[in-house]
Amino acid sequence: MNIDNHEGFRRMVDESLVGGISVEREQALRQHLESCTPCQQYLSASNSVIAGLRGFSFEVDPLLHARVLASMRSPVEPDRRRRALRWTLTSFAAILLTIGGSFVDLRFGDLLASVFDIQRMPLRQGLLALWIVPSLCVLLLFPLLPLLSNAGTHRKERTL
């Protein structure tokens, strides 16, 4: 027999096992199986696999199943106290950095300018650009972030 012919009959075996074969093709398959040992072995192996899969089952712990369903039903509640504490500490740190930068600039600016042998104005601009303004931006931005994030999560979707 031709190898391609066997492949076609093996496909017909697969189709017949799932119930999707016409009467004519089933009859041709039966005639072929009477004389072809490799295709008979293929049918036997396929039947064994299907029989093995039908017996394959496992038990799920009912308590685990109930916990999974309960966790899917309950909404996730964020720990608001921890988040509020984090925002408060970050804002407090930004306040300290802003005040500290301003204090260093006012009290020690002349001393630092003489130690590093630079003029007072470039030192003041550097402190302002690299320390005071960034900490001031953080100070102003962090109290707004929770409001902005809540507004983004609670808005309704719009369809065009």
Its pTM stands at 0.37
Phi, psi for 79 (deg, rounded to 5): -80, 95
Does 125 share its domain with 84? yes
Provide CB contacts within 8 A for 30, sequence distance 6+: none
Q: Classify residue 74: in a domain, yes or no.
A: no
Contact criterion met (CB below 8 Å) for 39 and 6? yes
- Domain-terminating residue out of 18, 39, 54: 54
Domain count, the chain: 2
- Which of these, 9, 4, 87, lies nearest to 42 by C-alpha position? 9
Does 88 share its domain with 37? no
- Residue 30: domain span: 3-54
Q: Classify residue 104: in a domain, yes or no.
A: yes
Q: Classify residue 31: in a domain, yes or no.
A: yes
Q: Classify residue 59: in a domain, yes or no.
A: no
Question: 58-94 pLDDT, tens per residue?
Answer: 676 778 777 777 776 665 555 667 777 887 888 788 7
Total residues belonging to the chain:
160
DSSP 128: I
Question: 86-123 pLDDT, tens per residue?
Answer: 878 887 887 887 788 778 777 887 887 888 888 878 87
